[in-house]
Structures are given as structure tokens and as C-alpha cells.
Structure 1
Amino acid sequence: MNILLTSSARRIDFVGFFQDALRNAGINGKIIVADPEHNAPSLQVGDENYVIPHQTDTRYIEAIIEICKKHEVECLVPLNDWEVPKLSAHKKELEEMGVSVFTPDKAIVEQVRDKGKYRELLQSFEVMAPLSYLNIEDALKALENNEVSFPLIVKPRNGSASIGIEIVHNPEDLKFAYQHSVQQIKETPLDDATYKRPEDNVIIQEVIEGEKFSVDMFNDLDGRFLASFIRKQLDMRGGDIDRCITVNSPELQSIAKKTGENLGHAGYMNADVYYDGTNYYVIDINPRFGGGYAFTHKAGADVPAAIIALTAGNQLNDDWLSQDSGIELARHDTVVQIDKEKVKKIID
């Protein structure tokens, strides 16, 4: 079984998780790694390593399909949310080639990438999201009516990697942050990730103060909920978890299960959930593996083993779908030498 991990970037650990899972399953195959940066650290550790165009390039899908054909790929797992809309749009084509694509269908991707509609989306199954406003006028009116109060957060509706996010404390800062977020969208791949104009792709949201959790939801290829994994965030770096402690909170597990069951997505999703001391609020949903899964893997789970079993049509092991609770974990950096001979181009 050959497995393709796309936009793997720095995630050397994820490549190892899948290599270990294949070996432990006694299945012959390769972990193929693809990334648009020729010096991405993960391209040094795959069994086959390819430089591909960025997801904004019209040749991106051509490169993915070419790799799948060349290596008879049976399973594709994306690791970056910017590429997921492109992959979901071509999911049926990939599946017809015999590839199990662990990414949601296009309609679900569009739903979860629009943070401006979270309250409407989530309240139907009794999960809370912050108050959100789609323009400055509505936010100012809500402030005037005491519906919401400063501070507020301004950010892209389909944001990623903390791009264009600012906390504001007065109307003047609000107007400046709104224009700054618009400009940030224009200058990043976020502009390519939606049909909306940059001016229509910004939300103004109430700030939820309190404890922060990373909540993962894992479904099978038919969208049936399988498991949730929860970590309390202790420290962040570069928009990713740096230190955390695993928790198996019934309240958060309930939120994950309701969300996973009602969205019915295929594969892995990660959500940021904040607790203000009274209620839990879903702040963000990413339709792919979050980098925080590495902590859960260290705490006993093995989702790559489950993905391989689902692809092969084999029985799942319950141990793969649970983590030990109360495990405090921290990330550290490693250094790899960049050997250009290990990396190939799939298209010129």
C-alpha cells in the first residue's frame, strides 16, 4: 500500500507515524511525501519525496494525480488546510483511480472554512460559537446596543496560520484592523481559497477568554464518527501547539461527537474550543490533521494505523482510537541536512 502525504512541510514526525503503522501492519508499501518547498524537512524522510506546485498553481492537481498514477497510491492524507478545497473538488476523480481520500467532501469543506457562519452551522446540534459580524457597521451597531463589548477580534473568515488576526479595543482600531486583514488576505493564499472578495472575507468576533483546547474528530471514509482526541493548550508557537496536556473531558468529547456525527466528514478534523468558565465555544475548525495530533500519538493513539486499516478494509483496533489522559507533553525541534538528491520534481 502506497500512501501520499501532501504539504508535509516540517512534519517529519507524521511521516514516521505512517511508516511505523505500515510496518506494524505487515503491509508492504511506501510513504510518499509531497511539498511545494524543495527544502521542506519532511522531504528528507519519505520513501519517495516530491516537490509539487503550490495549491494556488493550476498544475497542483495535475501533480497530485501524476504521483498517484506513478506509484499506484491507495491512500491520500492532506496535512495543510489551504490545499483541502482543491483536493475535495477533485475527490471523486481521485477515488475513481482507486485512491482513498481522507478529506471531507467539498460542501463540508466550504461550511467549516467559513467562520462567519459557525453559529448558524453549529447551533443546529447544540454546539456554541462566538458572536460574529460580517462588517464594521453591524459590529458597531451591536456595540451600541450592548450586544457585545470590546475587546473584539478581527480575522479572515477562512483564515489559517494566524494570518490577518488582530485584537481591537476601540472603534478606530477596529477600522484599521479590518483594512489590515483585507490586505493580508490579498497578499496570501487565502485569497485563492474562496470565491469571496477580500472585503467580504473578514469577520469581527467577540473574544472568548479562558482555557483553550484542541479538539480532534476522526471519522471513517463514509463519515461515521469513530473517535475524538482532546488536548488542553498550555503554550503556542507560530500558530501551533508547543506544550499541552491530554484530557478526556466528557463535555468536550460530547462536543466532538456531536460535531463529527452531524458534519459527517471523511477523515480527520481539528477544532479550537475555548472555555470561558461557563460555556465551551468552537472558534475554528480545520478540515485536516492538526499538528497537535503528534501529542495524542505520543499519548497512545495511532490514527495512521486506523487510516491504513480503513483503506485496506481491515478491522480497527480500539486502542488506536484512544489516548491516555493527563499526559503533559512538549514539542522540540530537530535538524536535518537537506540532500537535494532525495527530492524529485513530478512535473516541470
Structure 2
Amino acid sequence: MNRINVLVLSSGRRVELVEQFKKAGKALGINCEIIAGDNSELAPALYYADKSIITPRIDEPNYISFLIEVSKKENISLIVPTIDTDLLLLAKNKEWIEKSAGVKVLISDYNVIDICRDKFNTHNFLLSNGFKVPKMYSEVEINDKVYPLFIKPKSGSSSINTFKVSSEKELKNYKPMIDEPIIQECLAGDEYTVDVFLDFESNVISIVPRLRIATRSGEISKGKIVKDQDIIRDVHSLMKTLKPIGHITVQLFKTKDGIKYIEINPRFGGGAPMSIQSGADSCEYLFKLLSGQELKYTEDYKNGMIFLRFDRSIALDENLNIYND
């Protein structure tokens, strides 16, 4: 079998994801290297990968040409983005990167990324295709009867500058803090993150709903795998309409009025290793696809698993080598 090297971009704190790729390669007997890239030499994931690479910042003009050159040098088969700010740039340059370096970029088509990265676009896409969303309010529609509301930035991520507002006073306080704010109804119900994997032709391979028990800084910290068929059917329909590829993270609420979608992140989410460890192994799926295998839809993952995430540290000496006492 040919060597399959994977480059995880903006790897930062994505230690779990790097480890899951390494575990998948070993389980499948793949000859591979998992390479972590980041613009900071202090990114923890760099020290858990088989190899690390310091990249330019995403906003530097040589970023794409650097990815092409490093893909050639390291014989990269797959480039995996992990943060929102990478997505539009990679989608725009996907064809050039793939043709120039003979590499696969795990990014959906530009029109899909454009829908997902702009929350107005996401809201309008969902609404126009018959999917339920929280009501969006203009300022003239807001009165005392509609509170509580939820305010968030148009293109934000990680729940930065997102607030529940319970009064006109709170709304006036929070609004100046947010660039291009969106004001929506505040949903009541169970909140889910849904990990979806689709092959390179947008065929759905797995759908894993995760109940969000607790979150921290916008990322799930405690979650439970819940094989909810209502959610699975609705998300399957959404994916057939949107047609992304790769690992997709969908945020939704299951309310008394049905399933309502909050956002769609067309990349690995921070909690993706929960679904991977339950048996819906996106890393194995990617290795199999790159090896020429055809995948079929499966729900062969363990229901009811609870995951509790926590921080851990890594010690480096003065030369940035891992310190082992």
C-alpha cells in the first residue's frame, strides 16, 4: 500500500485529533506520518505528531505556496484544516493546491463554505430549503415580549462574543462588542452537536448526534452519544441538500417545535474525537478512501457513551524538546 501522509493545519490544541489519526493509521496497517502544522512552535499538538512544521500565518501572502511546497517535500496525501479562518482561503485555492502538489484538501466546494462561514447565509440557506431555524429579529421587531434573545457575530466561532440577553439594557450593552451582530430567539430544549462524515462525492457515511451536557469556551466538555433517529434523518436530509465533503459539525436544538439548526461548521470540531472513539472513525474513513476503498453508510457506533474532556500539559526544556524527568 502506498504511503499516506496527513498534514493537520493550525493544529494548536488538537492533540486528540492528531492521536486519533495516528491510531487509525496503525489499526489499518497504513504506512503513514501524521504531520502537525502551526505558526507557533508552542502549539501542543506539534509535540504529539510524527513530525511538526512551522507554517506562515494564514493571512500571509505565501501561505498557499508554502502548503504546496511542503506537500511536495513531505509527500502529503491529505491536508486537513481545523479552524474557520482557513476555510474560505483553502476552498478558493483547492483546485490549484491539489493540481500543483498532487494532494487532497479536505475542504468542501467554495459555495458550501460560503454558506457555512456566514451565519446570515446559513440561516437563509436553511430557511429556504425547509429546515427550521431560530427566528431572527431586526431591531424594530424587538419588544419586551420577545426576550430572552441570543446575540452573536455574523462570522464568529468558538462562542466568542455570543450572549444570552434578557432585557433591552443588556442588548444595548452587548451589541457594541459584536462586529455585525445577529439577534435571534433564544432556544429552549436539548442542544446537540452532530458529527457527520461524507466521502469525496458527498455521500453520507455516518451521522453521530452528541448531546451537549456541558461546554467551555464554546467547545463541548461533557457529551453523550445519543443515536436519535429524528436527528439522524433530518441531518441526513440537510447533508443531501448542502452536499459538503469530509467531517462536518452541525449544531442544533431539539425543541418542542422540532429540530432547529444553529450553525454548520464544515470541518473537524473540537469534540470530534468523541464520535471517533464511539466507532464512527472519520480518520479511518479517510485512510480507506485515500486507499481507494468505497464506503457505505453505517450506524455501527456505540450508543450511550459519555465523554468527559479535560486539560493536560506537556513539559518542554529550554530547547523546546519534550522534557522527561
**TM-score, length basis structure 2:** 0.91
Q: How many residues align?
A: 317
Poorly superposed stretches of 4+, deviation over 4 Å? 339-343
Task: Quote the Cα distance in structure 2 between the aligned partners of 1:50 and 1:322.
Answer: 35
Q: In structure 1, give the amino acid aligned to 2:278.
A: A
Q: In structure 2, give the amino acid aligned to 1:114.
A: D
- Answer yes or no: is 1:265 the counterpart of 2:264: no
- Structure 2: runs of 5 or more not aligned: none
* Matched residue, 2:104: 100
- Answer yes or no: is 1:173 the counterpart of 2:170: yes
Q: Contact (CA 8 Å) 2:200, 2:245: kept in 1 or not?
A: yes
* Matched residue, 1:185: none
Q: Contact (CA 8 Å) 2:160, 2:218: kept in 1 or not?
A: no
Root-mean-square deviation (CA, aligned residues, Å) is: 2.0
Alignment of 1:151-230 (within 5 A): 151-182=148-179, 201-230=180-209
Q: CA deviation at 1:253?
A: 0.3
Structure-2 change in CA distance of 1:342 and 1:318 (3 Å) = farther
Q: String of CA shifts for 1:215-256, please: whole Å, max 9, x gaps.
A: 122111122222211100101112111111101101110121
- Answer yes or no: is 1:338 the counterpart of 2:316: yes
Q: In structure 1, give the amino acid aligned to 2:165.
A: V
Q: In structure 2, give the amino acid aligned to 1:95.
A: E
Task: Quote the Cα distance in structure 1 between the aligned partners of 2:96 and 2:321.
Answer: 29
Q: In structure 2, give the amino acid aligned to 1:246.
A: I
Percent same amino acid at aligned positions? Answer: 28
Task: Quote the Cα distance in structure 2 between the aligned partners of 1:115 and 1:317.
Answer: 31
Task: Quote the Cα distance in structure 2 between the aligned partners of 1:15 and 1:80.
Answer: 14
* Matched residue, 1:326: 304
Alignment of 1:27-106 (within 5 A): 27-96=30-99, 97-106=101-110
Q: Contact (CA 8 Å) 1:4, 1:76: kept in 2 or not?
A: yes
Task: Quote the Cα distance in structure 2 between the aligned partners of 1:37 and 1:298.
Answer: 28
Q: Contact (CA 8 Å) 2:5, 2:78: kept in 1 or not?
A: yes
Task: Quote the Cα distance in structure 1 between the aligned partners of 2:320 and 2:165.
Answer: 48
Q: CA deviation at 1:342?
A: 6.2
Q: Work out which of the residue numbers 109, 115, 120 in structure 1 matches 2:119.
A: 115
- Answer yes or no: is 1:301 the counterpart of 2:280: yes
Q: String of CA shifts for 1:237-279, please: whole Å, max 9, x gaps.
A: 1211111110110111012101111111121110111122332
Q: CA deviation at 1:318?
A: 6.4
* Matched residue, 1:15: 18
Q: In structure 2, give the amino acid aligned to 1:2.
A: N
Task: Quote the Cα distance in structure 2 between the aligned partners of 1:94 and 1:337.
Answer: 36
Q: CA deviation at 1:324?
A: 0.9
Higher relative contact order (CA 8 A, sep 6+): 1
User: SS at the partner of 1:155?
Assistant: strand
Q: CA deviation at 1:341?
A: 5.5
Task: Quote the Cα distance in structure 2 between the aligned partners of 1:202 and 1:303.
Answer: 34
Q: CA deviation at 1:317?
A: 7.3
Q: Contact (CA 8 Å) 2:6, 2:76: kept in 1 or not?
A: yes
Structure-2 change in CA distance of 1:34 and 1:300 (3 Å) = same
User: SS at the partner of 1:90?
Assistant: helix
Q: String of CA shifts for 1:269-325, please: whole Å, max 9, x gaps.
A: 101111223321111111100111111122122110101111221243767x63211
Task: Quote the Cα distance in structure 2 between the aligned partners of 1:208 and 1:57.
Answer: 39
- Structure 1: runs of 5 or more not aligned: 183-200, 344-348
